[in-house]
Amino acid sequence: MTTFFAEAPRMNEKVTLIKGMICGYRVEDIEDPLMQKIRYLDKLVDELAKGKKMEKILRK
C-alpha cells in the first residue's frame, strides 16, 4: 500500500520544531515515523486554524 507521504515531496526539515499535544499524544514522542508525520500535519493545521503564526508553531 502506498501512502501519501511515500509519494509526496520531502517534509520540511523544520517539521521537528513542531511540539505539543495532538489527539492525546506529544508529537515529538511518537515512535512510528508515518504516524508522527501524520500528527505533525494535524498539529500544523490545527494551530494555523486557531490563527497562530508559523513562527509560534515552529518552536525552538
CATH T-level topology, domain 10-57: Helicase, Ruva Protein; domain 3 (1.10.8)
Give the pLDDT score at 60: 54
In this prediction the pTM is: 0.77
Give the pLDDT score at 48: 92
Q: Give dist(CA 24, CA 14) in Å, integer.
A: 22
pLDDT category at 1 given cuts 50, 70, 90 is: low
**39 grid coordinates:** 500528527
Each domain of the chain, given as residue ranges in start order, spans: 10-57
Give the pLDDT score at 2: 66
Give the pLDDT score at 12: 83
Q: Model confidence over 22-60: pLDDT tens digits?
A: 889 999 999 998 899 999 989 889 999 999 988 888 765
